[in-house]
Amino acid sequence: MKPKALILRGAATNCDLETAAAFRYCGAIADIAHINEVLKGIKKLSSYDMLALPGGFSYGDDISAGKIFALKIRTLRKDFEKFIKDEKPVIGICNGFQVLVKTGYLPENREGLRRASLFLNDAGHFICKWVKLKINKKSPCVFTRGLPDEIELPMAHGEGKFIAADKKELEKIIAKNLSPVFYSDNPNGSQADIAGICNEKGNLFGLMPHPERNFFSLQKQKKESKGFLSEGYLFFKNAVDYCR
């Protein structure tokens, strides 16, 4: 039986179609739903094996990026926490990562408090470019298993600078290998070159660059004859294989 993925969107989310297509290509059933459908009980998280919060500019990034979407999700906190506790894969990409940080799900903590931020890029403006990422092979992250030592993904954000709440939080992330991906050439000023973080079980993961935008080799900025699929494919394949 095919595992089911829910792609959860809000107003102004714009990467939901690509994210759903990535999961479908890897053998999953992927449904796209607005957060209001979950709030009204039309869609239930418990019906799914995987969850993705895709990129975009949910609710116009009013107040701060991902904040309003995060407030909506917090009203369903019990359902979301059960989904994560059941070790079902959850990925937040770009705006989705911002949402996971602002709900307090990442970095993981028992109190559910917000222990980090994704702040304005050091450049002071939106950055859209390809970036090289180093893969942390010691990380428990489900999504990055089997990836090469270095990959390239596109990024597109204005608020991507990762800042931990304090020195202790940052040290914990590094010591426990909870950052599966690091920038090779830090484009936004993130602490410790962090491009994404996960929880200790490895099933909850958020990152700023977009794996769904480097899914096929033809999407790469440098055309290479190394097969039809590219590095981003493995992020989604890993999640689907994990559920199987």
Mean pLDDT for the stretch of residues 4-26:
98
Query: How many other β-carbons are positioned within 10 Å of the β-carbon of residue 242?
Result: 18
58: pLDDT confidence band, cut at 50, 70 and 90?
very high
Q: How far is CA 35 from CA 74, 212, 231, 232, in A?
A: 11, 21, 29, 25
CA distances from 242 to 7, 66, 69, 192 (A): 17, 28, 27, 29
pTM exceeds cut of 0.85 = yes
Half-sphere exposure of 48 (CA within 13 A, CB side): 28
Please check the confidence at residue 63 and state whether its pLDDT lies above 70: yes
Q: State pLDDT tens for residues 111-152.
A: 888 999 999 999 999 999 999 999 999 999 999 999 999 999
CA Rg value for the chain: 16
Tell me: pLDDT of 14 over 90: yes
Provide the pLDDT confidence category of residue 224 given band limits of 50, 70 and 90: low
List, by residue number, the catalytic residues. Answer: 94, 210, 212
Q: What is the pLDDT of residue 112?
A: 83
- Domain span at 160: 4-243
Q: How far apart are CA 226 and CA 244, in angstroms?
A: 27
Counting the structural domains of the chain, the total is 1
Which of the residue ranges 68-82, 154-168, 225-239 would you say has the lowest mean pLDDT?
Answer: 225-239
Here the CATH number for the domain that contains residue 184 is 3.40.50.880
